[in-house]
Amino acid sequence: MKNNSSPLFLFNGESLPSNPSVGYLEENEQLVNGTRNTNGKTIAQPVNRRINKFSNLVFPILPLEDYNWLKKKVANFEVLLTYYDTEEMQVLVRRFYFGNLSGTPTKWDNSFKPVQKPTEFKDVKVNIIDMGY
Protein backbone atom coordinates (compact mmCIF):
# COMPACT_ATOMS: atom_id res chain seq x y z
CA MET A 1 0.00 0.00 0.00
CA LYS A 2 1.27 3.47 -0.75
CA ASN A 3 1.08 6.33 1.71
CA ASN A 4 -1.49 8.23 -0.38
CA SER A 5 -3.91 5.29 -0.68
CA SER A 6 -6.85 4.42 1.53
CA PRO A 7 -5.92 2.61 4.74
CA LEU A 8 -6.77 -1.07 5.23
CA PHE A 9 -8.15 -0.39 8.70
CA LEU A 10 -9.60 2.47 10.69
CA PHE A 11 -9.20 2.33 14.47
CA ASN A 12 -12.11 4.19 16.09
CA GLY A 13 -12.49 6.04 12.80
CA GLU A 14 -8.80 7.00 12.50
CA SER A 15 -5.93 5.62 10.47
CA LEU A 16 -2.31 5.64 11.50
CA PRO A 17 -0.96 9.14 10.83
CA SER A 18 1.49 8.10 8.10
CA ASN A 19 -0.76 5.36 6.60
CA PRO A 20 2.16 2.94 6.17
CA SER A 21 2.33 -0.31 4.22
CA VAL A 22 0.52 -3.14 5.97
CA GLY A 23 0.33 -6.91 5.76
CA TYR A 24 -1.69 -9.39 7.79
CA LEU A 25 -2.97 -12.94 8.10
CA GLU A 26 -6.76 -13.14 8.11
CA GLU A 27 -8.21 -15.93 10.23
CA ASN A 28 -11.84 -16.89 10.55
CA GLU A 29 -13.30 -19.25 13.12
CA GLN A 30 -16.70 -20.51 14.14
CA LEU A 31 -17.46 -21.03 17.80
CA VAL A 32 -19.62 -24.08 18.41
CA ASN A 33 -21.56 -25.65 21.26
CA GLY A 34 -20.96 -29.35 20.83
CA THR A 35 -21.61 -32.65 22.56
CA ARG A 36 -21.63 -36.31 21.58
CA ASN A 37 -24.76 -38.38 21.29
CA THR A 38 -25.16 -41.95 22.58
CA ASN A 39 -23.60 -43.28 19.34
CA GLY A 40 -20.49 -41.17 19.90
CA LYS A 41 -21.26 -38.81 17.02
CA THR A 42 -20.60 -35.13 17.48
CA ILE A 43 -23.66 -32.93 17.65
CA ALA A 44 -22.70 -29.26 17.22
CA GLN A 45 -24.46 -25.97 16.73
CA PRO A 46 -22.82 -22.70 15.74
CA VAL A 47 -22.69 -20.03 18.41
CA ASN A 48 -23.06 -16.46 17.16
CA ARG A 49 -21.50 -15.58 13.79
CA ARG A 50 -18.05 -16.42 12.47
CA ILE A 51 -15.29 -14.55 14.30
CA ASN A 52 -12.56 -12.64 12.46
CA LYS A 53 -8.99 -12.30 13.61
CA PHE A 54 -6.31 -10.27 11.90
CA SER A 55 -3.12 -11.97 13.06
CA ASN A 56 0.31 -10.50 12.74
CA LEU A 57 -0.94 -7.22 11.38
CA VAL A 58 2.50 -6.05 10.27
CA PHE A 59 3.71 -2.53 9.68
CA PRO A 60 7.17 -2.96 8.10
CA ILE A 61 8.43 0.47 9.25
CA LEU A 62 6.86 2.94 11.68
CA PRO A 63 8.26 6.21 12.98
CA LEU A 64 8.18 6.63 16.76
CA GLU A 65 5.10 8.87 16.56
CA ASP A 66 3.04 6.20 14.75
CA TYR A 67 4.33 3.43 17.01
CA ASN A 68 3.29 5.48 20.03
CA TRP A 69 -0.13 6.24 18.45
CA LEU A 70 -0.71 2.52 17.92
CA LYS A 71 0.56 1.70 21.41
CA LYS A 72 -2.05 4.02 22.91
CA LYS A 73 -4.82 2.33 20.89
CA VAL A 74 -3.64 -1.09 22.10
CA ALA A 75 -3.58 0.16 25.72
CA ASN A 76 -7.30 1.00 25.39
CA PHE A 77 -7.83 -2.72 24.59
CA GLU A 78 -11.14 -2.32 22.70
CA VAL A 79 -11.46 -0.66 19.31
CA LEU A 80 -14.18 -0.08 16.76
CA LEU A 81 -12.48 -1.46 13.68
CA THR A 82 -13.53 -0.39 10.19
CA TYR A 83 -12.45 -2.94 7.59
CA TYR A 84 -13.54 -4.71 4.44
CA ASP A 85 -15.14 -8.00 5.40
CA THR A 86 -14.40 -10.69 2.81
CA GLU A 87 -17.38 -12.81 3.89
CA GLU A 88 -19.98 -10.02 3.89
CA MET A 89 -18.31 -8.39 0.85
CA GLN A 90 -18.68 -4.91 2.33
CA VAL A 91 -17.12 -2.44 4.74
CA LEU A 92 -18.06 -3.19 8.34
CA VAL A 93 -17.48 -1.55 11.71
CA ARG A 94 -17.23 -4.05 14.54
CA ARG A 95 -15.88 -4.20 18.08
CA PHE A 96 -12.46 -5.86 18.28
CA TYR A 97 -9.77 -6.12 20.94
CA PHE A 98 -6.02 -5.91 20.59
CA GLY A 99 -3.54 -8.68 21.35
CA ASN A 100 0.15 -8.10 21.94
CA LEU A 101 2.08 -5.31 20.23
CA SER A 102 5.74 -5.72 19.30
CA GLY A 103 8.29 -3.77 17.29
CA THR A 104 12.05 -3.66 16.83
CA PRO A 105 13.71 -0.27 17.26
CA THR A 106 16.05 0.36 14.30
CA LYS A 107 17.03 4.03 14.43
CA TRP A 108 18.11 6.12 17.41
CA ASP A 109 18.46 9.77 18.37
CA ASN A 110 21.87 10.01 20.04
CA SER A 111 21.38 13.61 21.10
CA PHE A 112 18.66 12.71 23.59
CA LYS A 113 20.13 12.68 27.11
CA PRO A 114 20.80 10.74 29.28
CA VAL A 115 19.95 7.76 27.03
CA GLN A 116 19.31 7.19 23.34
CA LYS A 117 15.76 7.62 22.05
CA PRO A 118 14.36 5.17 19.46
CA THR A 119 12.99 7.05 16.42
CA GLU A 120 11.94 4.21 14.10
CA PHE A 121 10.58 0.68 14.53
CA LYS A 122 10.52 -2.19 12.05
CA ASP A 123 8.34 -5.29 11.86
CA VAL A 124 5.69 -3.82 14.15
CA LYS A 125 3.10 -6.54 14.80
CA VAL A 126 -0.25 -6.57 16.54
CA ASN A 127 -3.22 -8.97 16.59
CA ILE A 128 -6.79 -7.68 16.39
CA ILE A 129 -9.51 -10.11 17.47
CA ASP A 130 -13.25 -9.85 16.85
CA MET A 131 -15.32 -9.63 20.05
CA GLY A 132 -18.29 -11.29 18.33
CA TYR A 133 -20.80 -8.48 18.74
* pLDDT tens track, the chain, 133 positions: 444 577 888 999 988 777 666 777 777 765 556 677 777 777 766 555 677 888 888 888 899 999 999 999 999 999 999 999 888 899 999 999 998 899 999 999 988 789 899 999 999 998 998 988 7
Phi and psi at residue 128, in whole multiples of 5°?
Answer: -130, 120
d(CA 61, CA 87): 30
d(CA 7, CA 21): 9
Phi and psi at residue 5, in whole multiples of 5°?
Answer: -95, 170
The domain limits of the chain are 10-130
d(CA 118, CA 107): 6
Q: What is the DSSP letter of 14?
A: B
pLDDT score for 86: 85
